Structures are given as C-alpha cells and as structure tokens.
Amino acid sequence: MSNQVKSVGVIGLGSMGMGAAKSCINAGLDVFGIDLNSTALEELSLAGAKDVSSNPLDFAKQLDSVLILVVNAKQVNAVLFDSGLAEALNPHTAVMVSATISADDAKQIEAKLQQHQLIMLDAPVSGGAAKAATGDMTIMASGSALAFEMLKPVLDATAAKVYNIGEQIGLGATVKIIHQLLAGVHIAVGAEAMALAARANIPLDLMYDVVTNAAGNSWMFENRMQHVVDGDYSPKSMVDIFVKDLNLVADTAKELQFPLPLSSTALNMFISASNAGFGKEDDSAVIKIFDGIDLPGVSKDQSKK
C-alpha cells in the first residue's frame, strides 16, 4: 500500500539495533543509521546504509519512519526531543519505540509525538543479538491500525513474530516488562544453579550440557550460562540493564499492588552484582556475587572487584 514506509532511520546501533538495521537493508528498505559510535556507523555504512551520522537531523526529512533501539526512556526522550528530531521530521512520520520502558513513559512519549503530528508504535523487542541479526526478533506492539500498516515493512524485516497487543500505547511496554520478569529470574536462577554446581565441584561444561538436554533448561539458561562456561563476560546485555528492567517490573507490581517474590530476589542479585563492580559486564556476571566458588576465566580478584 502507498502509506507503507520505504525508508527508516535506526537510532541506536548496539547489538540489537545493528542487527535490525542490517535486516532492514536486506529487506530493501532505505536505511539511515544514527549512533554516537563511529565504528558502528562505519559498519552499517559498509553493510549498505544510505547514510549514517551521529546527528539524526542530517537526514530527518528523508525518513518515512524511525526505529528507536536505545536502552531506556531517558535516551528515547533525548534522541527524539532533546535533539530536535521530532520537530524536524515530516508530519505523519511513523516512530517505532522499541526500548524497554514503562507504560507511563510510553504514553508520555506518544503525547509529545502527537504535538508534532507523528504516529507512534509502542513496540518492545526480544530475541537478543542473534535473532536481531537474522531478522527473527519477537515484537510485542501496541498502537493504531495505521501505525501497524505503515510500519509493516520494518516489522516484516526485523521480526519472525509480531504480536498486536492492542491499540492503547503502553500495552506493548507492559507485556515486555512482564516478559523481562521471566528473563531476569531465569538468568538469576541459572546463575544460582551453576554456582551450586561449582561449589559441588561439578564441571560447569558438564552441568551446562545436562541442563540444556533436560527439563530444567530455558532459553536464557542456554544462552547466558554458555557465557559462564566460556568465562566470557563481554556484554551482550549488561547487568545494569536488568537492574533497570527488574526495577520496571517492581514499579509495575507496585502500581497493581501485586507481590512478586521471585523477581524481587532476582533484582537484589543484579543490584548486588552492579554494586560489586560488574554492572557493565554481561548480565550472566550476576553469578560473580557467589563466594567460595571457582569460575572459568575468573581470577580471585576479578570475582571480588
């Protein structure tokens, strides 16, 4: 249809954003990349982007749509409003906000976008860097039928599954927050299990192999505990991101007056890991809060930063 977008500005070229941007290029969209990291800009340019810049105003008028894959609501507001981008975009441009944010933040962002006649899709994503790279993310989105229709080329390019949660902005954000409850608890309990295995002198590669071929497995265990086995804590998703996300879970539960004993414990584990100096490491580094165990690739001083 004529109202479907043909160009997209991808803001935030981290592990998820880079994969999404390349998937849009592969799908034939005109892709413009925006990030402060010059290395990421160069990588996307070599992959076939129409243009790249650290300043989205450089090509705002060429965009039919914007895909925002940054960390939090503060960054969403910065790239849209503090930068002047929302004001510079053509009226009726579709803005797909894919950061993990609260429902209230999503509603406030939509209200500000409406002042500039911009159309928002509240569209958090999941699947990690691997699925972003292959265009197979899961997207849980809410917004108008027009927003879904306009952004269909971007959704098709980046996702294997798109869930329409409803028309109300904030519903997509809420579903993602509930999902993050599970993701955070799975990482935390996976770390606890592997720490217990280390204490019992069970080889962690053996323990990992058993679990990933048995009923106790989960996607997060299989993905994140591999990092522990490898002793590689280079961040795909940082400890501090789960401090942020599980705090969003806690805030949502507080508003609904609903008890969440397991996610509260997981949040405390991630906060402990952050306070111990592991906040910028991979979220699997939450395992380093356990004393009295030896971990692959981790020296005694590293485990007690």
Alpha carbons 199 and 195: distance in angstroms, whole number = 6
Residue in 90, 152, 89 with CA at minimum distance from that of residue 123: 152
In terms of DSSP H, where are the helices of 73-203? 73-77, 85-88, 103-114, 128-133, 145-150, 152-158, 171-199
Q: What does DSSP assign to residue 238?
A: B
Rounded-to-integer distance, Cα 39 and Cα 205, Å: 34
d(CA 162, CA 168): 16
Q: What is the largest CA-CA distance in the chain?
A: 63
SS3 5: coil
Q: What angle do CA 20, 66, 249 make, to 5 degrees?
A: 70
E strand segments, 17-176: 30-34, 51-53, 65-68, 94-97, 119-122, 125-126, 137-143, 159-166
CA 158 to chain centre: 13
Alpha-carbon span 155 to 17, nearest angstrom: 13
Hey, which residues are catalytic here? 176
Strands 119-122 and 137-143: antiparallel
